[in-house]
Amino acid sequence: MLEDAVGLAAVTVLAVLEQAYFSLQVIYARRKYSVSPPATTGPPEFERVFRAQANCSEYFPVFITVLWTAGVFFSQGLSSVCGLLYLYGRLCYFRGYSQSAQGRLAPLYFSAKILWVLVGFSSLGVFLSFCRVYLNVDLLQEVCFALDLV
């Protein structure tokens, strides 16, 4: 079953590659602005790159979690598409934040919205599975039946 989740796994690998790209940017910024570890403060140019990566890292596990919950319990196709949009939003966020604190805002709101959509899919999927497993009611089918779609 899990092996069929190719779409989710592909988005997951892309997400890891994106994180690797962000980490490399921090290493380059450390060299460029001469900020040696363990220091994490320095010129604003460095601190913006550092914070951009830290913020993306912080949201990485939340993203992977809702991607898979929404994908397994609701729809793999929709989750994968949302996942790609989220990764694109994060790339824009990283580039925007590297240039100015203001530049991070629009893509941040965009990727937050995508995350909320995935949270919505997850909640709906878990609720429908709960009805199916514990109440033995297939709500999705009931709704289609009521709407005379089947």
Residues that bind a second copy (CB under 8 A): 1-4, 6, 9-10, 12-13, 15-17, 19-20, 36-38, 40, 44, 47-48, 50-51, 54, 57-58, 60-62, 64-66, 69, 72-73, 97, 101, 104, 119, 122-123, 125-126, 129-130, 133-134
Cβ at position 147, least distance to a second copy in Å: 24
The two tokens of residue 23 are 């980490």
Identify which of residues 133 and 147 has a Cβ nearer to a second copy in the complex. 133
Cβ at position 15, least distance to a second copy in Å: 8
132 is catalytic: no
- The single residue listed with the structure tokens 């994180």 is 19
Q: Torsion-angle region of residue 34: left (phi > 0), alpha (psi -120 to 50) or beta?
A: left
Distance CA 78, CA 145 (A): 23
- The single residue listed with the structure tokens 């993203």 is 63
Distance CA 15, CA 121 (A): 19
Cβ at position 85, least distance to a second copy in Å: 18
48 is catalytic: no
Nearest to 83 by CA among 10, 21, 17: 10
- Active-site residue numbers? 31, 104
